[in-house]
Structure 1
Amino acid sequence: MGYKNEAEIKQALGIESWRNLSKDKMIRFVAMMPDMGTEVALKIVEQFPVFKDFAIDAVDAMEGAHESTLSANNQSQEHVHRAFQEIREILKAELSNGDLSWKQKKYLIEQIQETGRLEFQKDSENKHFLDGMSRKMMLGAGVVVALGVAFVGGRVMAESKDSPESSLEA
């Protein structure tokens, strides 16, 4: 575990108090959770007055960041595909020139094939990237849900120990 106490986590986030936890820092906090000890994470979560609001804000912020990244990625992919298409158009126009030798035609055909291979490779890289992004999003949301369950479960257990009924059962 990377973070052993609250002070280290506050320092890493650049805050003095949990009240200073902005939405941006909330995303960082959620991303740091796998590197925290369970007890440390639970102690921190207990300090939030309304954990449900925190969890909703964290998931909303993660979703917004995820959508922004996907949008930028989509624009980048469109640009790459358009560029490859333009290159192929230029190569095809050159290929239609009747004054080319067999060697020159062969070279142009190989270049057209190469752009296809490169575009396929770029598409595969993009799918790998999207898969990684989805996994990170799911992990972050899972951490928030798990902490929510632990937080609610801990409160229920604490309340049941304090209730008069629990002393009768003993």
Structure 2
Amino acid sequence: MAYKSEAEIKQALGIESWRHLSKDKMIRFAAMMPEMDTEVALRIVEQFPVFKDFAKDAVDSMETAHASTLSANKQSQEHVHQAFQEIREILKRELDKDYLSWESKKFIIEQIQETGRLEFQKDSENKQFLDGVLKKVVIGAGAALALGVAFVGGKIMAESSESPGDSPEA
């Protein structure tokens, strides 16, 4: 769908006026830009005198959320690894008991191996999680960059249309 008017874009964003354009909706606005008529997009962006600051704040918020997510994830991973290590320590102590049958020792060894497999699986899941988080940050930063480029492009186009053209004076 190509948006041909500001009213269509406001309706798609669920806002009544540009004053209601939150950071979240700004990101949605950026994602919609490829579907907008160029002139309409530039007219909208020109209405934001502090657009650069707004886009910067949006990126800063994303960075803060990303750092918080990574920190919480790191702590969670450390707890998981510590728990698996503690389980293996308990199993090793059990394995040292002389009175255990071969079947009991075999079971304990299998449990030690299982904790290794589970820990490896948890590590793989964590890497997939981090990959997903990174992709979201890249998309958000790309949207903010697109808004910044559109803003700068709109200002340059506006300034060039206001300045005298290359009219030949001989």
Q: What TM-score, normalized by structure 1, do the two folds share?
A: 0.81
Equivalent residue number for residue 8 of structure 1: 12
Counterpart-to-counterpart distance in 1, 2:44 and 2:113: 56
Q: Kindly provide the amino acid, as one letter, of the partner of residue 113 in structure 1.
A: Q
Q: Kindly provide the amino acid, as one letter, of the partner of residue 29 in structure 1.
A: M
Identity %: 65
Q: Could you list the per-position Cα deviations for residues 40-84 of structure 1 after superposition, in whole angstroms to 9, with x for gaps in the alignment? A: 765543332211101211111110111111111111111111111
Counterpart-to-counterpart distance in 1, 2:94 and 2:41: 63
What's the CA shift for 1:92?
Answer: 1.0
What's the CA shift for 1:108?
Answer: 0.7
Equivalent residue number for residue 71 of structure 2: 71
Q: Kindly provide the amino acid, as one letter, of the partner of residue 19 in structure 2.
A: R
Q: Is residue 107 of structure 2 the alignment partner of residue 112 of structure 1? A: no
Q: Is residue 149 of structure 2 the alignment partner of residue 149 of structure 1? A: yes
Is the radius of gyration larger for structure 1 or structure 2?
2
Matched positions, count: 161
Tell me, yes or no, if the aligned pair for 2:45 and 2:151 is still in contact at 8 Å: yes
Counterpart-to-counterpart distance in 1, 2:41 and 2:60: 20
Q: Kindly provide the amino acid, as one letter, of the partner of residue 71 in structure 2.
A: S
Unpaired runs of at least 5, structure 2: none
SS in 1 for 2:167: helix
What's the CA shift for 1:96?
Answer: 1.2
- Point out 4+ residue stretches in structure 1 off by more than 2 angstroms: 15-21, 31-47
Q: What TM-score, normalized by structure 2, do the two folds share?
A: 0.81
Q: Kindly provide the amino acid, as one letter, of the partner of residue 163 in structure 2.
A: S
Unpaired runs of at least 5, structure 1: none
Counterpart-to-counterpart distance in 2, 1:54 and 1:132: 25
Counterpart-to-counterpart distance in 1, 2:156 and 2:94: 75
Counterpart-to-counterpart distance in 2, 1:75 and 1:153: 43
Tell me, yes or no, if the aligned pair for 2:45 and 2:150 is still in contact at 8 Å: no
